[in-house]
C-alpha cells in the first residue's frame, strides 16, 4: 500500500481538483494525507478572517473524512487572496520564501515516507497566486526529501474546460459576477499525462464538496455554480480529474 500526500492551497481545492482520485486511492487501501498551505481565511463570505479560518479547518476535516483521508496537516500560512483582491496581513503564503515553505512540506513527506505527492500545474490552474506557489513549493519540497516521491500535478484539460464552460454558460447567467478566466490556464490536452475517470467516487467527491459549506454561498464560486447544475451536467463536470506527471527530481 502506498502513501499519497496531497498538497493544496486552500480547503476545498482538494475536493474540486483531486477528490475523486484521492477517494479511489483511499478505497484501494492507500494512506491519503491532505496538506493545506493556508487556512483559506480570505475565502468569500461575510465572516471575519479569523472566524472563517476556524470554520474552514473544520470543513477540511469533514472533507477528509468523506474522501477517506487518514490525516490533515497545515503548513500554517495565511491565505494570500486573489490577485485582484489580495489579503493584507502577516504570514501570507506568497510572502514566504519557496525554500522555507518547501522545507515544511518536505519534513511532512519524510515523516510519512510518501510514495506520491500531488501539487499543481505550472500555471497554478486558473492562476491564483497561492496556487502558482503550490506548484513551486511542491517541486522544491520533493527535491529536499530523503526519498523523492512521484509528483503528480493536478490540472484540467484546457480544451475540455473551454467546451465545458460553453455547456454551463446558460447557468452562469444566474451568477452575475462570474468572469471566465482567459489566457494560459491549466494545461493543454497533450500536457496531461494522467486522466482519471472518477465517476465511481462521485458520492464521496460530492460529500467532500458539500463539506465546504462556507464556500458555497455568499460569493461567486465554483462550488456555488456546481450546485446549480443539472445532475447529468454535474456528472460530466465532476467525473474526470487530470494530472501532469512532473519529470523525476534531479
Residue nearest to Zn ion (CB): 10
> Closest approach of Cβ 208 to Zn ion, in Å?
14
- Spatial distance between the Cα atoms of 101 and 103, rounded to a whole number of angstroms: 5
Give the N- to C-terminal CA distance of the chain in Å, as an integer.
26
Which stretches does DSSP call E strand in the chain? 3-8, 31-38, 71-77, 81-82, 85-86, 116-120, 150-155, 194-197, 240-245
Applying CB under 5 A, which part among 7-15, 99-107, 158-166, 177-185 lies near Zn ion? 7-15
| Size of interface with Zn ion, in residues (CB under 5 A) | 3
Nearer to Zn ion, 10 or 158 (CB): 10
DSSP secondary structure letter of residue 157: B
Binds Zn ion (CB under 5 A): choice among 5, 7, 10, 209? 10
Nearer to Zn ion, 14 or 157 (CB): 14
Asked if residue 208 lies in contact with residue 119, where contact means CB atoms within 8 angstroms, the answer is: no
Residue 9 within binding range of Zn ion, rule CB under 5 A: yes
Applying CB under 5 A, which part among 1-9, 57-65, 78-86, 192-200 lies near Zn ion? 1-9
- Spatial distance between the Cα atoms of 148 and 20, rounded to a whole number of angstroms: 24
Asked if residue 79 lies in contact with residue 44, where contact means CB atoms within 8 angstroms, the answer is: no
Cell output for 92: 501570507
Applying CB under 5 A, which part among 10-18, 27-35, 96-104, 116-124 lies near Zn ion? 10-18
- Spatial distance between the Cα atoms of 101 and 141, rounded to a whole number of angstroms: 8
Q: 102, 113, 27: which is closest to 66 by C-alpha? A: 27
Restricting to residues 12-71, name those near Zn ion by CB under 5 A: 13
Provide the total of helices (H) and of strands (E) in the chain, helices listed first. Answer: 8, 9
Nearer to Zn ion, 9 or 64 (CB): 9
Nearer to Zn ion, 17 or 244 (CB): 17
Applying CB under 5 A, which part among 8-16, 30-38, 92-100, 203-211 lies near Zn ion? 8-16
Nearer to Zn ion, 3 or 35 (CB): 35
Binding site for Zn ion (CB under 5 A): 9-10, 13
Amino acid at each position: 500500500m502506498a502513501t499519497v500526500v496531497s498538497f493544496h492551497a486552500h480547503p476545498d481545492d482538494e475536493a474540486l481538483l483531486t477528490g475523486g482520485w484521492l477517494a479511489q486511492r483511499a478505497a484501494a487501501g492507500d494512506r491519503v494525507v491532505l496538506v493545506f498551505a493556508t487556512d483559506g481565511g480570505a475565502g468569500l463570505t461575510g465572516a471575519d478572517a479569523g472566524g472563517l479560518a476556524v470554520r474552514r479547518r473544520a470543513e477540511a476535516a469533514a472533507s477528509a473524512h468523506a474522501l477517506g483521508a487518514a490525516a490533515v496537516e497545515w503548513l500554517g500560512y495565511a491565505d494570500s487572496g486573489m490577485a485582484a483582491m489580495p489579503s493584507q496581513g502577516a504570514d501570507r503564503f506568497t510572502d514566504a520564501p519557496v525554500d522555507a515553505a518547501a522545507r515544511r512540506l518536505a519534513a511532512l513527506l519524510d515523516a510519512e515516507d510518501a510514495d506520491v505527492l500531488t501539487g499543481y500545474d505550472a500555471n497554478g490552474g486558473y492562476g491564483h497566486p497561492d496556487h502558482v506557489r503550490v506548484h513551486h513549493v511542491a517541486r522544491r519540497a520533493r527535491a529536499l526529501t530523503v526519498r523523492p516521491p512521484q509528483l503528480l500535478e493536478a490540472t484540467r484539460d484546457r480544451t475540455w474546460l473551454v467546451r465545458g464552460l460553453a455547456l454551463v454558460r446558460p447557468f452562469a447567467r444566474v451568477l452575475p459576477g462570474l468572469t471566465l478566466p482567459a489566457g494560459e490556464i491549466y494545461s493543454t490536452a497533450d500536457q496531461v499525462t494522467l486522466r482519471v475517470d472518477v465517476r465511481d467516487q462521485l458520492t464521496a467527491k460530492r460529500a467532500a464538496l458539500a463539506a465546504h459549506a462556507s464556500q458555497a454561498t455568499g460569493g461567486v464560486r465554483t462550488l456555488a455554480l456546481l450546485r446549480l447544475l443539472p445532475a447529468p451536467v454535474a456528472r460530466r463536470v465532476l467525473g474526470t480529474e487530470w494530472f501532469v506527471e512532473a519529470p523525476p527530481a534531479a
